[in-house]
Structure 1
Amino acid sequence: MLYKSIVYSKIMHILIIFLFLLGGFSMEGKAQDLKPIVNKVVEKKLSNGLTVLYYPYERGDVVTVRLCVKVGSAYETEKEAGLTHLIEHMIFKGTETKKPEDIVGAIEALGGYMNAFTSYDYTCYYAEGPSIITEKALDILSDVVFHPYFDPKELEKEKEVVIEEMKMRLDNPFVVLFENIMKATYKTYPYRRPIIGYEENVKSFKREDLLKFVNQFYVPENMVLTVVGNISEKKLFSLINKYFTDLPQRKLKIVKFPEETYTDKPTLVWVKRPVKEGYFAFTLPGASFRNEDAPYLDLLAQILGGGESSRLYLKLKRELNLVKTISASSFTPYGPGVFEIFVTADPKNFKEIVKEIGEELERIKEGGVLEDELEKAKTQILSDFIFSAETSDGLSGTLSSFYLTRGTYKDIIWYENKIKTATPEDIKRVAQKYFNLQKLVAGFLSEKELFNEKEFQNIINCIKVKKTAEVFTLNNGLKVILYPQNDLPTIGLTLAFPGGLRFETKETNGLFQALSLLWTRDTKNHTAEELADKLESIGATIKGFSGRNTFGLKATFLSSKLDESLNLFKDIILNPSFNEKECEKAKPELISLILMQQDQPISLAVNDFLREIFPGHPYGLNIAGNIEFYQRFTSKDLISAYKKFVNPEKGTLVIVGNFDPLFMKEKIEDLLKDWKKPLSEIEIEEKEPPEPKERYKKVEKDTFQTQILLGFQTPGLNSKEKVALEVLNAALSGQDGRLFRILRDERSLAYTVTSFVIFYPKKSAFVFYIGCSPEKEKEAISGFWEILENISKNGLTEAEIKKAKNRLIGKLKIGLQSNISIAEDMAVNEVLKLGWNYSSIYENLVKSITQEDIKNLISKYFKKDKAVLFILGK
């Protein structure tokens, strides 16, 4: 239902973040001065005790009206559990003067919407929309909150709805685990009960129960009305006086909360469910948001598990691959808080995960945090204040939450100052205070119980701190990234540089293909045969690679053959021969790449299309190279390219696998100490690609099918739109993509229809492709435009966006399993200026893409007058 509790309408990690936002704050971004925001707030207390917070919002003609009551599930008795949440549902079911359809429907008719949520500490009702809804919102909120009718017939129906919501939650492993671990974490405090309550309670509630509870807590002095909108102060308070002056006289019930002691020994909670995934949660005692330590705990959560560059994610996901997802948050509500860590993983890894997380907590207690990572956490946290101020809804939520938990919205400045002035010593002190593993509660949800509490306690008691990996730069400028993965005795290594197709010309097209192939053929110390024999005898491979944007070397070998493999790798890096005889032997191999392309109409079409969309530019060259170049290149050409592009200052070396980082660092420093940077550096950068000269081209070719490509120049891989382009492509392509479903499944136009993106740093090409019979050509092209226009107008469906995101995230995870794939991914991303840990933040980037991002992308770049249509066929 529209106004169901937000807390129970999200998947677990969103749920946890939301609870955190209700009780405390999880804020990300650039540290800014928040005083100008706070100083614009107008606070007034009406004669009946109701506090009003008003912020003149000038960014747009919108308003958010939020009425919050300082009563949540924590204020209930055991027999009342679920009553607050049920009231939230029933508030929208009508008053003595308004029918249900006159409430939400009235706001929607003006272009806005209404919603509500229940938390442990308070309940909020709100409306958001264009400014014209202000009076209607104030009218409706004052009526439904202070004069609810609670019709008995509607109540019986809504109780059934809430019970169905309970049953729905029982099918959600995240929620089931969360509620079980909260029950085990809190010994006495009412946070141990689920917000939604218990089925038997909900069934028993009568109209009188709801009215009694409302009369006890829905008291003006126990509320805050927050209005953030484009409306004058005079007009707003005139309306507030009109609708919120004559309110029922009620006496506020005072609730006394118990003290919370938490557990005094490591506690295990295991929930057995027939699930496919494994779910895991850690809790440790935390702080109330009223406590001075709360901001420091937020910083700790950000550093440990606030994102995909956090310590826990990099260690347990990226380095050890023990988890599928991991996050940390500090639940800092009005009452006693909790520090939380949530994980999804294969249950067979649970023991190892407990150990690794425990070690990281102990490591931060012992060694504290680095100044750089603390500054990054501050930047990430404080920006949420700034970003929340961009929207009326976000800012109203921030102001209301601070008022309800701290007693004043002005404590936004307190929080800001605490974050800004936090020192590594503050963080270490707080970690030592709260990270007591003897008070840890661990919850697991899986198909079967794998170990008991005694075994769990033994793991905790044996935890020791281990050293982490390193990133450093050699004297010659080469960046080195060491990433231990000690589960298998293998090592993957990648050395990458800027290069590839984007630095070729029409005359040198194929240079990097030839360079990467011949780089590893022989050296000044070993013939091709000798080199191949030595590598094969130790089970190692060293190969060159070249793409559109980068080139370099890749190696895989057993960790037991580390010395031999690294010595051969050094020889290939520093002493390539590029022997003329080997060049001649390689030419047929390289020319074969072109000949195979020419046998495939789709390859011919793609090559010709790229030449049209990037005219006269390297981006439009053939990735396989050019026959004329392959026929005439010499050893001198490759030596010249090697000297120009194999520059340590431009390179990144990534080593992933079974090794000790300290030993490996010393090894690499010694191994490459003779690799000098060039005396004079040549600045290498491709030019900006021009606009296409022709928008339509048809090439006659005697084929059974017509190859149709419709494409656009779009932003490059370093642009902010990159991930949005990938999400759009994932939604369009594939067997479940919109192109396939409509043009193949529904209209039977082709066997193959898809889309793809070819990325370069400065621009990319987004391409629609279909291979169909000549008579279907016009219908196919019309189909492309029909789909684009529909998405431009209506966007993608939520299901399409979700599937597209899952495809991208799944593809990334599948592709980053082997040591060499991880090494190549890190090295290439670093060289392309995405950052070596780009893949670790990619999932969050994908998840952040919205419907509006997609629609804006299409409206901005996918215009008919910007399209290039290429047809190859009869």
Structure 2
Amino acid sequence: MRNLLLSSILCCSFATLSSVHAQKTEVPKYIKNVEGVKEYSLNNGLKVLLIPDASQSNMVVNIVYNVGSRNEGYGEKGMAHLLEHMLFKSTKNLGDIKKMLSDKGGSANGTTWFDRTNYYEVFPSTDDNLKWSIEMEADRMINATILQTDLDKEFSVVRNEFEIGENNPDGVLQERVLSTAYLWHNYGNSTIGSKEDIERVKANTLRVFYQKYYQPDNSTLIIAGKFDEKKALQYVGQYFGTIPKPKRVLDKTYTIEPAQDGEKFVELNRAGDSKNIGALYHTAAYVDKDYAAIDALGEILTADPSGYLYKSLVETQKVSSIYYWQPTTRDASFMYFGVAVPNDKDVKATKDLVRAELDKIASTKYTDEDVSRAKSKIIKQIENVKNNTISFAINLTEIIGAGDYRLGFLYRDAVENLTKEDIQRVAERYFKSNNRTVGVFIPSKDEQRVKPTEYTDEQLLAFTKDYKGKALEKETAPFEASIKNLKQNFAEGKLTNGAKYGLIKKEIKGGKVQASFKFPVSNEKDLAGKTDTGSILAQLLKTGTKTKTKEQISDRLDQLKSSLYFNYSGQTLVINVNTYKESFKEVMEILGDLLVNSTFPQNELTKTINEYNTYLESSLNDPQSIAFIEVSKQTENYPKESIFYTSTVQEQIDAYKKIKQSEIVDFYNNILGGNNGLGTVVGDLDAKTTEQILENTFGKWNSKSKYELAQPTFFETKKLDKDFITPDKENAVAIGKISFKMNLKNPDYPAFVMANEILGSGGFLTARIPMRLREKEGISYGAGSFIDIPVTNDAAYWLYYAFLNPTKKNAVEVAAKEEIAKALKDGFTAEELKSNLVSWINERKTRLGNDVTLMALTNTYLQYGIPLDDYDALETKVKALKVEEVNAALKKYLSLEKMTSVYAGDFNKK
């Protein structure tokens, strides 16, 4: 299942606040507990959901408003999304939201969709963070300033975001298919909105929309993770309880889409490098019992390798890939099939082939095995989300938008109870050609048309009001997010072949177990010219062994609610495992089988290369791809055979076409091996049992090629400004790179980290570069900087980036270079260092509450011997920094005279 959210995503971090309103506190009323989701309410209509999880060291506060593009009227297209941006500006009581978010650290986001808008913050679990976030969300619910001056600057930011989406052929086609499929309902409109409406709306008009929908009776507040429940309810009552229930009554949306009366077709002709086909069927609302069956049918049709459409279209190489998508919606939804077509195929002829296969959906006889396979996959996905409390709380956004948080449990129950008769019924009801948008109108008689089922709010309530859910799960044990606690719960060992491993003893919700393994292999000489072979091999490792077919492997992993991910880059194979305590042994046995018995069928190799190249073809003239590739090519001078060489998109396509099965097998037999490997497992596992499982999996898996760590070469950058023209592309990219010599042990490293934070990387869009380009001038949707400082060599670099409208190229270039020059000339202030230090420390603490970070730290220790205590040691060094040291480090390593700048876009646009 592919979930394409055409929404605004703001990658954020956050703020500290001390102001407290001295107001009478209302005690939220307890309603019920559904499978660990504790529901409360306030008199003003606010719904509150508490989802405690002591095993987390972070918490999330997520507020969901039941307003999205579905609620927009004439001249209001994109207003919900634009308002989402504006609520990150300021409030009457608290002031600058982005500044506060920046100071607080952590991560935050705001998104808009068909039926809802949400804002959330993830941060370390403290009472101050809890109190601040609740107060902030309450304040911006009713006190956002929505100034015309802010709106004037935000127009171009949103327009730039719109333009970025316009560069995606598949996404643009999907929008056009949607708008053609829907005659009246707003699901046919892009959430990001009409460029014209966005540019013309005034602050006063936007404020009316805000005051109507951003109210407690139209919202749900979710607090999840590790937090004090009593204090959370106190703060909710204190800050939200004082907001009066609005006197206005929200009108019900009553537009329903009429039954489609014939197949429709839309043809999109515009610049691009890939061929795509889209097909849409009107389906059912999330509350409808048919929704789960339609979802399962989507899996049955498109899953790799068992899907009926996958076998008939991808397996036969008529298309390179196919996916389906059915959004979680309040009203009758839709299923969209996206098909990628290789450039050497006739897209119109392929369209007819695809339609012919789609026509078979209703008449196909589905089996119990089909249903079992789909159920296993979907339930695995549901369990994975449910057992990651932070993700679960954020994921509830979509379900609340669809009507009620309990619908998610009802959906799960419906999936668990599916039968082949359910699949057959929905296939026959919904998947008719006259309910499809891809073709042309064909008149015919006696059509049995598909009419959507409408659900009133009262009917929806009837589905959920008495739902109690399954038995509550046992609460997980707390796990403090600190290096001290990590060390206390970390055990390490070595396998017989020399591979190192670590076990972090940690109870995760649902008995979940995660693992990350890295296997460095071979040497530069033996790997010369083989990087692409290794990359494709990693994608083929689940396509069959001597004892199991691809389908059997996929089915069993789904039944175990487990996943295996492989990736090869440079000289390292990375394996990530996501499973559960009771399944860990079997999943590792499956992994062991893949590592020593894989067969790499020729048809799978052909399909994989086909799929990869079709994707790459879509990037041939993509400004972002070109910019990042070209900045590497302009600053490095590796031979083509080197594992460090950066290929162009066309070179990558050509290289993949040349890969032979014999080369894959040779790499597998002679290069891969685990004797220099390392990895970390996180979960509530027995150390001795875990060691034996790892020994059985990796202990005898050895490489025949001698391992030597390959080191990149330092290439000094030079002053260069180079344009790359990408005709008829709506968006452009600017990148500047400066290389220098530094590694993690360099005494200047702590100071340079903070210099980068202040200049381009830190805070919630409050570092100097994003503040100038986005916030002050509104000429870039996204801008910032990052550093790459290696562990074992000195080939380091600093890089800034900006996404922009091509017509703003000169303005962005001037502004970015002026900010860098100003920092180099005048330096940073002590106040800047102080505020960025707070947000940097908080952001690191937030990351430490993530299991992925814990595994990365222990794996770095296992691979390079870097003590875990260095994480805290860096913080100690940074805290002791003086602003003069930060300024000195910046001037020592950065120089505009050494910056290579690359610009990619259609700069001929006027």
| Normalised TM-score (structure 1) | 0.52
Checking the alignment, whether the CA contact within 8 Å between 1:284 and 1:340 is kept in structure 2 is yes
TM-aligned CA deviation for residue 411 of structure 1: 3.3
From 93, 98, 104, the equivalent of 1:97 is 93
From 319, 330, 336, the equivalent of 1:323 is 319
Percent identity (aligned): 22
Tell me what 2:407 maps to.
411
Tell me what 2:310 maps to.
313
TM-aligned CA deviation for residue 158 of structure 1: 0.9
Tell me what 2:724 maps to.
none
From 391, 394, 398, the equivalent of 2:391 is 394
Structure 2 Cα separation of the partners of residues 75 and 66 of structure 1: 21
Post-superposition Cα deviations, 1:397-426, rounded to whole Å, max 9, x if no partner, equal 34343333233x333332222111111111
- Secondary structure of 2:268's counterpart equals strand
Unpaired segments ≥5 residues, structure 2: 10-31, 448-522, 529-544, 551-569, 577-587, 596-611, 613-625, 646-666, 675-696, 714-741, 747-786, 800-850, 868-910
- Secondary structure of 1:237's counterpart equals helix
Matches within 5 A, 1:157-236: 157-236=153-232
TM-aligned CA deviation for residue 229 of structure 1: 2.1
Q: Relative to structure 1, is the Cα distance of residues 650 and 259 closer, same or farther in structure 2, using a 3 angstrom cutoff?
A: closer
Checking the alignment, whether the CA contact within 8 Å between 1:717 and 1:759 is kept in structure 2 is no
Structure 2 Cα separation of the partners of residues 119 and 160 of structure 1: 20
From 220, 240, 243, the equivalent of 1:247 is 243
From 290, 293, 301, the equivalent of 1:293 is 290
Tell me what 2:138 maps to.
142
Checking the alignment, whether the CA contact within 8 Å between 1:38 and 1:412 is kept in structure 2 is no
Matches within 5 A, 1:153-552: 153-250=149-246, 251-307=248-304, 309-317=306-314, 319-346=315-342, 348-407=345-404, 409-442=405-438, 453=440
- Secondary structure of 1:290's counterpart equals coil
From 106, 118, 123, the equivalent of 1:112 is 106
Post-superposition Cα deviations, 1:769-820, rounded to whole Å, max 9, x if no partner, equal 66999xxxxxxxx999999983699999999xxxxxxxxxxxxxxxxxxxxx
- Secondary structure of 1:221's counterpart equals helix
Checking the alignment, whether the CA contact within 8 Å between 1:264 and 1:439 is kept in structure 2 is yes
- Secondary structure of 1:271's counterpart equals coil
Matched, 1:85 2:81: yes
TM-aligned CA deviation for residue 718 of structure 1: 6.0
Structure 2 Cα separation of the partners of residues 797 and 198 of structure 1: 40
TM-aligned CA deviation for residue 428 of structure 1: 0.4
Q: Relative to structure 1, is the Cα distance of residues 603 and 130 closer, same or farther in structure 2, using a 3 angstrom cutoff?
A: closer
Residue type of the partner of 1:219? Answer: Q
From 123, 127, 147, the equivalent of 2:117 is 123
Matches within 5 A, 1:841-856: 855=856
Structure 2 Cα separation of the partners of residues 38 and 252 of structure 1: 29
Q: Relative to structure 1, is the Cα distance of residues 353 and 49 closer, same or farther in structure 2, using a 3 angstrom cutoff?
A: same
Checking the alignment, whether the CA contact within 8 Å between 1:305 and 1:329 is kept in structure 2 is no
Residue type of the partner of 2:223? Answer: V
Q: Relative to structure 1, is the Cα distance of residues 441 and 105 closer, same or farther in structure 2, using a 3 angstrom cutoff?
A: same
Checking the alignment, whether the CA contact within 8 Å between 2:361 and 2:431 is kept in structure 1 is no
Residue type of the partner of 1:7? Answer: L
TM-aligned CA deviation for residue 307 of structure 1: 4.7
Q: Relative to structure 1, is the Cα distance of residues 259 and 861 closer, same or farther in structure 2, using a 3 angstrom cutoff?
A: same
- Secondary structure of 1:78's counterpart equals coil
Unpaired segments ≥5 residues, structure 1: 11-35, 444-452, 462-599, 606-648, 655-708, 724-729, 731-735, 774-781, 800-849, 867-874
Structure having the higher Rg: 1
CA RMSD of aligned residues (A): 4.9
Q: Relative to structure 1, is the Cα distance of residues 363 and 212 closer, same or farther in structure 2, using a 3 angstrom cutoff?
A: same
Matches within 5 A, 1:685-704: none
Matches within 5 A, 1:614-693: none
- Secondary structure of 2:402's counterpart equals helix
TM-aligned CA deviation for residue 864 of structure 1: 5.6
Post-superposition Cα deviations, 1:426-479, rounded to whole Å, max 9, x if no partner, equal 100110000011221118xxxxxxxxx47x999xx9xxxxxxxxxxxxxxxxxx
Checking the alignment, whether the CA contact within 8 Å between 2:68 and 2:114 is kept in structure 1 is yes
Post-superposition Cα deviations, 1:809-846, rounded to whole Å, max 9, x if no partner, equal xxxxxxxxxxxxxxxxxxxxxxxxxxxxxxxxxxxxxx
Q: Relative to structure 1, is the Cα distance of residues 96 and 753 closer, same or farther in structure 2, using a 3 angstrom cutoff?
A: closer
Post-superposition Cα deviations, 1:665-703, rounded to whole Å, max 9, x if no partner, equal xxxxxxxxxxxxxxxxxxxxxxxxxxxxxxxxxxxxxxx
TM-aligned CA deviation for residue 257 of structure 1: 2.3
Structure 2 Cα separation of the partners of residues 321 and 65 of structure 1: 46
The structure whose RCO (Cα within 8 Å, separation 6+) is larger is 2
Tell me what 1:683 maps to.
none
TM-aligned CA deviation for residue 391 of structure 1: 2.8
Checking the alignment, whether the CA contact within 8 Å between 2:176 and 2:266 is kept in structure 1 is yes
Residue type of the partner of 2:103? Answer: A
Tell me what 1:62 maps to.
58
Count of residues in correspondence between the two structures: 518
Structure 2 Cα separation of the partners of residues 341 and 712 of structure 1: 33
Post-superposition Cα deviations, 1:147-205, rounded to whole Å, max 9, x if no partner, equal 10011111111122222222333333223212211111111111122212222222222
Q: Relative to structure 1, is the Cα distance of residues 296 and 652 closer, same or farther in structure 2, using a 3 angstrom cutoff?
A: closer
Structure 2 Cα separation of the partners of residues 750 and 772 of structure 1: 14
Structure 2 Cα separation of the partners of residues 59 and 858 of structure 1: 22
- Secondary structure of 1:52's counterpart equals strand
Post-superposition Cα deviations, 1:276-296, rounded to whole Å, max 9, x if no partner, equal 211210001111112111111
Checking the alignment, whether the CA contact within 8 Å between 2:53 and 2:225 is kept in structure 1 is yes
Checking the alignment, whether the CA contact within 8 Å between 2:329 and 2:398 is kept in structure 1 is no
| Normalised TM-score (structure 2) | 0.50
Residue type of the partner of 2:112? Answer: T
Checking the alignment, whether the CA contact within 8 Å between 2:125 and 2:227 is kept in structure 1 is yes
Q: Relative to structure 1, is the Cα distance of residues 60 and 440 closer, same or farther in structure 2, using a 3 angstrom cutoff?
A: same
Structure 1 Cα separation of the partners of residues 148 and 414 of structure 2: 50
Post-superposition Cα deviations, 1:477-497, rounded to whole Å, max 9, x if no partner, equal xxxxxxxxxxxxxxxxxxxxx
TM-aligned CA deviation for residue 74 of structure 1: 0.9
Tell me what 2:672 maps to.
758
Post-superposition Cα deviations, 1:570-625, rounded to whole Å, max 9, x if no partner, equal xxxxxxxxxxxxxxxxxxxxxxxxxxxxxx995799xxxxxxxxxxxxxxxxxxxx
Q: Which of the pair is proportionally richer in helix?
A: 1
Matched, 1:862 2:858: no
Matches within 5 A, 1:802-813: none
